[in-house]
Amino acid sequence: MRPCPHYLLQTPELRLALRDPRTRLVSIRTWDEFLGRTSGYSYIPARGEIPGAVWGHAGDNDDMHSVSSFQRPDGRMRPAAEIAALWAEAGVQPTDPTIFYCGTGWRASVAFFYAWVMGWDHIRVYDGGWLAWSSDPANPVELRSRTAAPDGVPSPAA
């Protein structure tokens, strides 16, 4: 039995959840991962995103080991209003059914925890993340064509 199963989704559950147009799938990955320029991991060959995902930030553009978008330089959580503003830019509101995911689950778990601390009620984590999704050839993949990075995100030459 999984602890707190109502917070975790596996691939079949994610497919069902995405049928609800109110559901927000939030990618907690670097900008380059979100665009499909890189998978972010040496052991994940596929690049791209789950169709319909919005970018929820993560950390430094070239560092998939960072969640600095949500933290102060000393590692403490940024003010909740600042994090909520990042997600609001992507159209994600505290009342939305929200599913966080990343490459393998840990960055999504950080975002989930911060949302939980902020009092968001309808939050979940797609634990398998990009690794699980991209491992199934039946799952659709979206490659973004946008080259301009949002404010505050370095945009490497394409």
CA-based torsion, 113, 56, 37, 133: positive or negative: positive
Overall domain count for the chain: 1
User: Is 154 inside any structural domain?
Assistant: no
pLDDT score at 72: 93
Catalytic residues: 102
User: Is 146 inside any structural domain?
Assistant: no
Residue ranges making up the domain that contains 119: 5-135
State whether residue 125 is helix, strand or coil: strand
DSSP state of 49: B
- Asked whether 129 and 56 are in contact (CB, 8 A), the reply is no
Other beta carbons less than 10 A from residue 156's beta carbon:
11
DSSP state of 150: P
User: Is 143 inside any structural domain?
Assistant: no
Give CA–CA dist 117/105, Å, rounded.
18
DSSP state of 144: -
Q: Domain holding 18: CATH number?
A: 3.40.250.10
User: Is 141 inside any structural domain?
Assistant: no
Q: What does each of the 158 residues of the chain score in pLDDT, given as a tens digit? A: 556 778 999 999 999 999 999 999 999 999 999 999 988 888 999 999 999 999 999 976 666 778 999 999 999 999 999 999 999 999 999 999 999 999 999 999 999 999 999 999 999 999 899 999 999 999 999 988 765 556 555 444 43
Side chain identity at residue 97, one-letter code? P
User: Is 113 inside any structural domain?
Assistant: yes
pLDDT score at 157: 40
User: Is 122 inside any structural domain?
Assistant: yes
Q: Give the DSSP H/E element, type plus range, for residue 54.
A: strand 54-55
The token duo for 79 is: 């003010």
pLDDT score at 18: 93
User: Is 58 inside any structural domain?
Assistant: yes
Give CA–CA dist 139/107, Å, rounded.
22
